[in-house]
Amino acid sequence: MEFDETNKKMFGVDEEVTLEVNLKNIQQLYVRVFEFNTETYYKKNLQKFDTNVNLDGLEARIKEVREYSHPANILFHDTFKIEHL
């Protein structure tokens, strides 16, 4: 799995969030979306939010499983629309 280089790094408040991914040799993909209160994070750590947060022990806000039937040697593309943001 590889995130497409055309993905945006930041989205506006009212903007639809989509991620483009390139996949190969994947039959099942688990997608989890975590929610963070960045203001609380800043107050606690006195630094801006770091995207390298350890997610161990945290519960995902959104969970989804995607099933694929592409042959293992075929590279294919998928788009994830995260409508809950």
Question: What pLDDT does 70 receive?
Answer: 95
pLDDT tens track for 32-79: 988 888 888 889 889 888 778 888 998 999 899 999 999 999 999 999
Residue ranges in 1-85 assigned as alpha helix (H): 38-45
Contact between 31 and 63 under an 8 Å Cβ cutoff? The reply is yes
Question: What pLDDT does 1 receive?
Answer: 94
Q: Which is more confident, 51 or 11?
A: 11
pTM listed for this prediction: 0.73
